[in-house]
A and B are shown apart, each in its own frame.
Chain A
């Protein structure tokens, strides 16, 4: 399973960044595939990117809401919301573990043989703050003279945009150097901190800052497919915990919002106490199916 996931991650990262003509024609791909969002965090300004970034798209939709004028249909971004919500409702954070190119980069960095550290758990709530403040509130409320909001997450934080978009574009279009200032160096600093910490801590960006992971995580307890814990088979060896990249304890927290469904725990468990399956509906309460308890069982 582990090597299969590596294969999928590699194919997804390369397959969705497969535009190799950027040095010869337009600097970024401008074809019809740009109408489709990537399920993971993949900057649409990456010269090789074939798809759009869902987080960038959401911010742009929210940022342009104030430009709406009566008689015109507002662009609410329902397509992107529906797309992300559909993915979240079916598989939760599975794209984080299998598809996201920036998650893959962090997985690769964590392979570097240096001392490893655990994440301070309260930091994981940071991604919800980023989702609400930088992706929703700031693009909606901080508007320019025209009435247009900015994609503040992209502008201030997004390390994927810096690594895959900003740095390659700065070299491909040297004219951009003139406009480089605070925002660029701020993003380069954040990227550097995240890349260094990714070698020391497993998936720090996904666990602390990623708004897309935060959004998918909202569905974790109600996804169609889920990681099922079979209590009778568990011997409390905690093998699953040692292998989990996000520090989830599947036997304590089923449907954890931190679980990226990488399924490493499935490989780690030799007692088949975990299974990846379609969620079964909860059984009917006993009082409904068999009558009130004070009446006795039928």
Chain B
């Protein structure tokens, strides 16, 4: 298997795990539960 791809997969997996453990999940859940006024173009 290619080394570069494997290293990238490992690095991004670590980032994902750090993100989950530092509260990104709650932040995203909170964000997704509100209507995005910018997306509608009225905010």
Contacts and interface: CB of A to CB of B under 8 A. Distances in A.
Q: Do A and B bind each other?
A: yes
Interface of A: 27-28, 30, 32, 34-35, 37, 43-45, 51-53, 56-57, 60-61, 73, 75-86, 88-90, 150-152, 154-155, 158, 161-162, 165-166, 169-170, 176, 179-181, 183-188, 219, 222-224, 278-282
Contacts of B31: 34, 44, 52, 56-57, 60
A80 B28 contact: yes
A152 B38 CA distance: 8
A180 B37 CA distance: 10
B43 to A, nearest CB: 7
A18 B28 CA distance: 20
Contacts of B8: 85, 88-89, 219, 222
Given A34-B29, A34-B32, A82-B18, A170 B1 contact: no
Name which of A27, A89, A183 has the most chain B CB atoms within 10 A of its CB: A89
Interface string B1-43: 1111110110111111111101111111101110111111111
Given A79-B20, A165-B36, A165-B39, 17 more contacts: A34-B33, A52-B32, A73-B23, A77-B24, A78-B22, A79-B15, A82-B18, A85-B12, A88-B8, A151-B38, A158-B39, A162-B41, A183-B41, A184-B42, A187-B41, A222-B4, A280-B2
A150 B37 CA distance: 10
Name which of B6, B31, B40 has the most chain A CB atoms within 10 A of its CB: B40
A82 B19 CA distance: 8
Contacts of B25: 35, 79
A75 B23 contact: yes
Nearest to B6: A224
B21 to A, nearest CB: 9
Query: How would you classify the secondary structure of chain B's contact residues: helix, strand, loop or mixed?
Result: helix
A73 B22 contact: yes
Contacts of B41: 155, 161-162, 166, 180, 183-188
A224 B40 contact: no
Interface of B: 1-6, 8-9, 11-20, 22-29, 31-33, 35-43
B2 to A, nearest CB: 5
A57 B33 CA distance: 12
A287 B5 CA distance: 24
A251 B39 CA distance: 40
A289 to B, nearest CB: 16
Contacts of B36: 43-45, 56, 151, 154, 161, 165
A78 B5 contact: no
B8 to A, nearest CB: 4
Given A75-B23, A222-B2, A56 B16 contact: no
Name which of A51, A83, A162, A184 has the most chain B CB atoms within 10 A of its CB: A83
27 contacts: A35-B29, A44-B36, A52-B32, A57-B28, A57-B31, A75-B27, A78-B18, A79-B16, A83-B12, A85-B12, A90-B9, A150-B38, A152-B38, A161-B39, A161-B41, A162-B39, A166-B42, A183-B41, A184-B40, A187-B41, A222-B2, A222-B4, A224-B6, A224-B9, A279-B1, A280-B2, A282-B2
